[in-house]
Amino acid sequence: MKFISPDIFLRKDSGEQTQLLDVRTPKEFEEGHIHSAVNLPLFTDEERAIIGTTYKQKGKRQAILEGLAFTGPRMADMVREASKLSGGKPLTLYCWRGGMRSGSVGWLLDTAGLDIQVIRGGYKALRKEMRKTISDTPWKIVLLGGRTGSGKTHLLHRLKEAGEQIIDLEHLAHHKGSAFGWIGESGQPSTAQFFNDLYYILSTLDSSRPIWVEAESSNIGKVRIPEEFWKHMQKAPRIDIRIPETIRIRHLVKDYGEYKIEDLIQAFTVIRKRLGGDNFKQAIEGLQRGDLDTAARLALYYYDKTYDYSREHSPNPALATFDYNVDWKTLDLAPLIRKAKNHFHG
């Protein structure tokens, strides 16, 4: 059994060279785990709670004996499962701090003849190293801005198709970043898992080339953008696109028109106070009679004010604004790409 430091592990193409195993409990794994890791828990959630109580009340020795009583009968099963998961690759293990759990499982699997390495400091040390990497790397981020309904997310993916590097933060957060953002999405990840997934995406990108990111607030639904990455975003140049309201309304109707009216009403209720009583009433009546254009126009009334305020107080240097009278599908991307590259490379 070998030990490896977090920085060395993260510098390798670990996903191809090794199979990563997280030996923490299922609950810990669910709250946040490293990309590509598979959960092979030494203890169940309930067992770990019992061991923790035993440690506090009766001491370390008794807690170890309690742990052995739980794991002893299933050691053979763990070896068989780990052998299956390895797929012929070496196995890399981590627990919370790289201590007793990963060391114990590592010893067992090493004794069984598997090629094992354990990450020093565990998940906690990995996350610390990931934060340092995100913070210290001079990412060439370009923010893509525009009012609600401008099709920024669609435009991001068109840029990707054109060979540009992008990060779709809303996709990672499973939320579109507004009172309506939860509609049609699965449950959001934890902020810890969002961070881990963002790190993985960044690790696949070339930091010497522009990376396009949609302009967001620091929170996307309940998920918070990591402070280390948010600092880069706040310094990033911003390119805005302006599209006529009629096209933006069309976008909103297309994106949200297939969802339940009850969900849309619930979302409008969240912004009721700022929308105003009369506007709220008109929006709800529009939804109920199937007039989605009216509801979308009233939603834009609220979001345009919010956007204009945030844009006015944005710390980001304004690089350019492009006015379009066409849908996002037919936008000419060349001027945007050229502007971003010229900014970073002169």
Residues marked active site are found at 95
Q: Supply the DSSP symbol for 93.
A: E
Going by C-beta distance under 8 Å and a sequence separation of 6 or more, which residues neighbour residue 338? none
Strands (E), the chain: 2-4, 19-22, 38-39, 91-94, 116-119, 140-145, 165-167, 210-214, 219-220, 223-224, 238-242, 318-323
A 10 A CB-CB count for 242 gives 14
Residue appearing with tokens 């807690």: 63
- Could you tell me the sign of the dihedral formed by the alpha carbons of 246, 299, 328, 235, in that order? positive
Going by C-beta distance under 8 Å and a sequence separation of 6 or more, which residues neighbour residue 303? 147, 148, 149, 178
CA 106/CA 163 separation, integer angstroms? 42
CA 85/CA 62 separation, integer angstroms? 32
CA 29/CA 219 separation, integer angstroms? 23
Q: Supply the DSSP symbol for 46.
A: H
On whether the CB atoms of residues 143 and 215 are closer than 8 A, the answer is: yes
CA 139/CA 126 separation, integer angstroms? 20
On whether the CB atoms of residues 185 and 176 are closer than 8 A, the answer is: yes
Going by C-beta distance under 8 Å and a sequence separation of 6 or more, which residues neighbour residue 23? 40, 41, 42, 93, 94, 95, 101, 102, 105
